[in-house]
Each structure stands twice: as structure tokens, then as C-alpha cells.
Amino acid sequence: MRARLHRPDRRGRFGEFGGRFAPETLMTALEELEVEFAAAWADPLFLGEYHRLLELYVGRPTPLYPAHRLSERLGVEVWLKREDLAHTGAHKINNALGQGLLAHRMGKPRIIAETGAGQHGVATATAAAVLGLECQVYMGEVDIRRQAPNVSRMQILGADVIGVASGAGTLKDAVSEAMRDWARTVEETQYVIGSVVGPHPFPWMVRELQKVIGDEVLRQSEQLPDVAVACVGGGSNAIGMFWPLAGTGVELVGVEAGGEGIGTGRHGASIGAGTPGILHGARTYMLQDDDGQVLEAHSISAGLDYPGVGPEHSYFQEVGLARYVSVTDREALEAVRLLALTEGIIPALESAHAVAWVAREAASLRHKTVLVNLSGRGDKDMEMLVERL
């Protein structure tokens, strides 16, 4: 097994994956961003400000909670990393605040973001408000409908939410539209990307900003778990938990969106059922046809409804640092109910995928300790839950 990489290589590659397949107009900004982030990330003043905000504003460290009743029900010792308790209700705030601080440091008055479930949009709007930046968020029209509460939250926080009607009107199209905006406004705008996707240095930078999740786990647990599980759309909560644990002997499991079942073609399992290609500036596993046209993903959870995955996950898969599985929409819904009834926690549909895998594999996980990254809370999914549960 090859080791995790502290930084991608000079060309932004994690092994065969990653890189910088971007329009020339953005290349200088990407080069600058890499230099600026590296400098900020080594600057005690920047780090101090970032960690101060994480502690006093976000409420970190988030608890590592032993889920006794769930454990009893499943016969598996389950620990929950409670990212749902972070300010704004998901891990996304770790990244949005870091990138917002960086934009501030670089003198860029405007930030833009894409969002699927709306959690990254809310986090970015929040960062913009607390740091005094202008903010616009691109969101697919379909997602605007299915995650309505988050749209209102962003608007109350002072962000403009711009609907994207192209393609399927979901996360992929929102990323594309945000990149088009950035090509036009790159000189005064920072693109606060929401996951470990996109051209270099985004996958590396976002992983560095999310690593706090796994770093806390290392400090909070007297004994490391046997298995660590996280859902994977672009994969920022997963890499944030996996990276510090990689190579420690903990088995890492990423759970992709199985949608209506891999066999139906309606899913978001880029690693499980995709092939390597180039999406949104990086070489990675993705859903595509023989002509290289990008296929639409499908998931009940807007945050996993994406036909690609962060390039570092493709690398983790390739070298065996993690393995990737999937659960269906139905299984994720059942997991929401399970966690609500046993622990009094309503998880986001995204995070429910990780819980669902543990529930499904309970027999083979018996007597093991399993750490689940509970990446977000489910308030935004209420309408869907009322309809489908």
C-alpha cells in the first residue's frame, strides 16, 4: 500500500489523479491561490485566527459521541463524530471560513460558491457575513426546490442565490456555472469551492481545511476505532476524517450514493461504477459514456448527487488506503429513521448514507468499533423526509 501524500506533486497530482485542466484565464489565479494558501497555512497569525474562529464561532471541537442505543440495536460499537453540531449544521463551515479568511487576506472583496444540498452555500454565506465579504451562490434549480430551507437561510445571511437551469439543474451544473462566473471575475473574486474537487490547488486546500475533523478524532479517542465511515459525494467530510487516520490501521470506508441501485444507472457512485476522466478541472473517477459525455448522477441527497469525486479519493481507492461502497436512497432513508429513533438525532440524508452502511453490514462488523462521520443535520431534508418516510 502506498502512503497518503502530504501535498500533491508539482502538477497537482495525487498519483494519476488531479491536475489542473482549466481554462487559461483561470490558470494564473490557480497558481496564485496555491502560493497564497501555502503561505497562509504556514503563518501563525492566519492559523491562530482560523483556529480561534473554529473554537469560538463554529464550536469546535465537535463531540465524539458514543451512540449506545444504536450500538445496542446493531451489535456494533458506534461512535459519531458530531459535525452536525458545528455552526450552520455541517462540516462545510470548516472549509468556508478558511477560504473566506484567505480571500480576505488576498484582498478579494467578493466570494462565490456552488452548492448542492445548500450546506456549503449556507456556510459560505455565513463566512461572508462574519468576514464582511460580498457573496453569490450558484445552486441548481432542482436543488433550490428540494432544499428550500437552505435557500432562505442563505438569503437571510445576505447572499444572492443564483438558480442554474442548465443540465439537470443539480450540483454539477452549479459547479460549472460558478467556474464560468470566476473566469469573468477572477481578479476581484475568490471561488470558495465546497468540496475536495476542482483543479489544483482546490482538492489539497479543502482537504487541509477539513483535516481538523480527523485530527480531533485522534485527540478525542483513547483507542482508535476499527473502522471509520463517511459519505462521499465530492468527498470533503470523508477526506477530512480519513486523511489523519490513513496509515494508522483504521479501515477507511467511503459510502457513495447508490441512488435507485447501481444496476438502474440512476446513482452517484463515481468510484464504484465510474471510470477515470476529467471533470471540473481534475482527472478523477466520474460517470461518463463512451464518448466522454458526462452522465447525470442521481441521489435522493442533493449533496451526493454529483457525477465525480475528489481526485484524492480516486488515489485512496487506487492505492488501497480506503475502500468505497454504496447504499441506496431507500437504505439512507431507513437510516435516518434508525438514528432518529435510537439516538434522537436526525441526520442529513448525505450523512445517513454512512449510518446505513453500518446498519447493513452490522453482522460483519459485530464487536468492532465503528466511527461514523455524522457530517450534517437533517433539518434541510424535512420536506423529503415527511414525504418519503
**CB 161 to another protein: min, Å:** 19
Q: How far apart are CA 105 and CA 236, in angstroms?
A: 23
Among residues 81, 92, 108, 172, which one is catalytic?
92
What binding mask, one character per residue, do residues 274-293 give for another protein by CB under 8 A, x or -?
---xxxxx-x----x-xxxx
**CB 386 to another protein: min, Å:** 34
Report if residue 298 touches another protein, rule: CB under 8 A.
Answer: no
Active site residue 375: yes
**CB 291 to another protein: min, Å:** 4
**CB 250 to another protein: min, Å:** 34
Among residues 83, 114, 177, 361, which one is catalytic?
114
- Sheet strands side by side (includes 227-231): 64-66, 77-82, 369-374, 227-231, 251-259, 323-328
Q: Is 81 helix (H, G, I), strand (E, B) or coil?
A: strand
**CB 199 to another protein: min, Å:** 9
Q: Which of 58, 179, 325, 384 binds another protein (CB under 8 A)?
A: 179
Q: How far apart are CA 40 and CA 115, in angstroms?
A: 25
Report if residue 107 touches another protein, rule: CB under 8 A.
Answer: no
The set of cell numbers assigned to 134 is: 460580498
Q: How far apart are CA 80 and CA 78, in angstroms?
A: 7
- Sheet strands side by side (includes 134-140): 160-164, 134-140, 110-115, 189-191
**CB 120 to another protein: min, Å:** 19
Residue nearer to another protein on the CB measure, 251 or 318: 318
E strand or H helix at 372: strand 369-374
> Is the CB of residue 122 less than 8 Å from the CB of residue 88?
yes
Q: Count interface residues toward another protein (CB under 8 A).
A: 35
Residue nearer to another protein on the CB measure, 50 or 182: 182
Q: How far apart are CA 268 and CA 286, in angstroms?
A: 9
What binding mask, one character per residue, do residues 16-55 give for another protein by CB under 8 A, x or -?
---xxxxxxxxxxx--------------------------
Residue nearer to another protein on the CB measure, 58 or 186: 186
Report if residue 108 touches another protein, rule: CB under 8 A.
Answer: no
Q: Where are the alpha helices (DSSP H) in the chain?
A: 24-41, 44-53, 68-74, 92-105, 119-131, 141-146, 148-156, 171-185, 202-210, 212-220, 236-245, 270-273, 311-319, 329-343, 349-360, 362-365, 382-388
The distance of Cα 105 from the centroid of its chain, to the nearest Å, equals 24
Among residues 71, 195, 270, 375, which one is catalytic?
375
Residue nearer to another protein on the CB measure, 278 or 319: 278
Q: Is 246 helix (H, G, I), strand (E, B) or coil?
A: coil
Q: Which of 176, 190, 195, 369 binds another protein (CB under 8 A)?
A: 176
Q: Stretches 79-87, 120-128, 164-172, 315-323: which one binds another protein (CB under 8 A)?
A: 164-172
Active site residue 92: yes
Taking residue 234's Cβ as centre, other Cβ atoms within 10 Å add up to 30
Cite the active site residues.
92, 114, 375
Binding residues (CB under 8 A) for another protein: these are 11, 19-29, 166-167, 172, 176, 179-180, 183-187, 277-281, 283, 288, 290-294
